[in-house]
Amino acid sequence: MTTQKKVLGVYGAGSEHWVGDGFPVRNLFPSNGVSSEINPFLMLDYAGPSYFDPSKRQHGVGQHPHRGFETVTIAYQGSVSHRDSAGNAGTIYPGDVQWMTAASGVVHEEMHAKEFAEKGGTFEMVQLWVNLPRAVKMSSPRYQGITAEQIPTVTLSASGKARIIAGELNGVKGPAKTFSPVNVFDVELKAGDAAEIALRAGHNAAAVLLKGSVVLNGSQLSGEARIATLGREGENITLVASEDSKLLVLSGEPINEPVASYGPFVMNTQEELVQAFEDYKSGRMGHLA
Ligand code: MN
């Protein structure tokens, strides 16, 4: 017999701010106090949906460093171009995902793609930060540009479906390579759909409602930019949608190591943070060409 994961809490965005001049975000953790209960996930920003006028200049965030974790960008509307000091570059379009492993360190920029900037339009993305285990924090950076075509879909109900970006659902595996067990499911339900999603016992988990109205294991989430955190016990969740709804379902094996974080660096100790800052300052994370 399977048991449901318990809803620990339901939260709205803790802060709303701009990242650079391209990403008007609602932060769904950790600014609202949700943090260790969703380890190995560190941060989630929901950008937009926001309209941008046509512009000759590309909006976005100019070069900045990261070390010790991964940034995962999921495109819903609009397109983003990435370029980093490890020599990787790519543009993602609606349905695509960029899974960027900063590991030992990169300097990168994240800009609205040129063609999007020129035409203007509605922009909507999610950026999720995933922690790395200590053993691989200083490994080489990696870039996975994952196209919509590479992401398999699992049918959940009459018209409900989940795109499996990372991890596995009902035997269907997602394309993202991860360093610890992580599930990232992009879920769409129509009004009236009821869906059951199997998640691993022992994983921390959360459901992020981008838009819509669902009852999740008996708890209501409605509107935009809401998150429900879930307990480690239990193997599944049920979602009943009363409106068309878009969600991200996240689960991951907890990384039971100390976390020391400062801005764009997430390490295990204060000393490693100081080292990260020095390495960035002295150019050891590289430069953009
Ligand atoms: Mn970044």
Could you give all domains of the chain from N- to C-terminal order, each with its CATH number? 7-281 (2.60.120.10)
Calpha distance 282→220 (Å, rounded): 50
Calpha distance 95→78 (Å, rounded): 10
Q: What's the mean pLDDT in 138-161?
A: 97
- Whether pTM exceeds 0.85: yes
**172-173 and 182-189 beta bridge pairing:** unpaired
- φ/ψ region of 36 (left if φ > 0, alpha if ψ in -120 to 50, else beta) reads alpha
What's the pLDDT tens digit per position in 65-115? 999 999 999 999 999 999 999 999 999 999 999 999 999 999 999 999 999
Mean pLDDT of the chain: 97
Please measure the distance between the N-terminal and C-terminal CA atoms of the chain and give it in whole angstroms.
Answer: 56
Q: How far is the CA of 86 from the centre of ligand 1 (A)?
A: 14
Q: How far is the CA of 129 from the centre of ligand 1 (A)?
A: 10
Spatial CA neighbour of 263 closest among 276, 246, 281: 276
DSSP state of 240: E
Q: How far is the CA of 275 from the centre of ligand 1 (A)?
A: 19
Distances from the Cα of 139 to the Cαs of 12, 88, 102, 142, in angstroms?
35, 16, 9, 9
Instruction: Answer yes or no: is pLDDT of 1 > 80.
Output: no
What's the pLDDT tens digit per position in 163-212? 999 999 999 999 999 999 999 999 999 999 999 999 999 999 999 999 99
Q: How far is the CA of 72 from the centre of ligand 1 (A)?
A: 10
Q: How far is the CA of 97 from the centre of ligand 1 (A)?
A: 14
Q: How far is the CA of 255 from the centre of ligand 1 (A)?
A: 22
Q: How far is the CA of 50 from the centre of ligand 1 (A)?
A: 20
Q: How far is the CA of 109 from the centre of ligand 1 (A)?
A: 7
2 pLDDT band (50/70/90 cuts)?
A: confident
